[in-house]
Amino acid sequence: MSMSSAGSHGVTQFAKADIADSFSRAAVSYDAVAELQRSVGTELLRQLPDDNVGVVLDLGCGTGFFGPQLNRTLQPDHLISLDLAQGMLQFARTNRATENGSWLCADAEALPLADSSVDLIFSSLAIQWCENLPALFSEAARVLRPGGRFLFSTLGPDTLNELRSAWSSVDQYQHVNRFISHSTLSESAGNYFAQVAVAEQRQVLLYDEVRGLTNELKGIGAHNISHDRQGGLTGKARITAFKQAYEKFRGDDGKLPATYQVFYGELING
């Protein structure tokens, strides 16, 4: 799916109902436009262990795209697919059902699972929507067995810096979701896990026009859903000014870039 820890600093930027609703409405269109999500998730799959795993939790499973690959690689006895968005979960269950699977509509910060009941958690581009990192990591550590692994990918604060910069020249509203830093992520995880490793990669997607990027963000449900976004419609003059501001990033290849700062984490339970 798509879920910073502004929440750990006392500031809430996302409402869970907004997150769930946005991604539920995007369930049908998601797979067709989720180029980055597929690329990042495929990279995360490369970090899976070679041996079989008993119980696997796909945390923030979205459309269930990676469920079949988790089954093939890990051959788990039980694959639990969990997402906050009921619409995503229904799509996944309809299109990617497995005999060893179960489906949970739940919050990653309050997992409805027993202590020490999971061997491996796989979570690709989901935890960026979790604002309470202590709750997220304490819950993950609680449900994992000793020695269990939490493999995740998430987005860093430099994500979509071109989009943020272009809008900042137009107005002072927040147009791009804020995500958490490498240091905050690692420090919080270190409070709950015996071993923490977080690596960074940059991925740049290229577009002919800025509309291609904004339509894609809408199609995956990851457009701006922060509390301090602008309400109502954006005026035509401001949209034109935004597009003109984004043009300064057009490269020699004639393309407009959108940069994603991606963190890949491996946490091992004590």
- Is CATH 3.40.640.10 what the domain over 7-157+178-226+261-268 is classified as, yes or no? no
Q: Is the pLDDT of residue 89 over 60?
A: yes
pTM: 0.84
Domain boundary assignment for the chain:
7-157+178-226+261-268
Query: CA-to-CA distance for 119 and 147, rounded, in angstroms?
Result: 8
**pLDDT tens digits, 188-233:** 999 999 999 999 999 999 999 999 888 888 765 554 444 444 544 4
Confidence band of 46 (pLDDT split at 50, 70, 90): very high
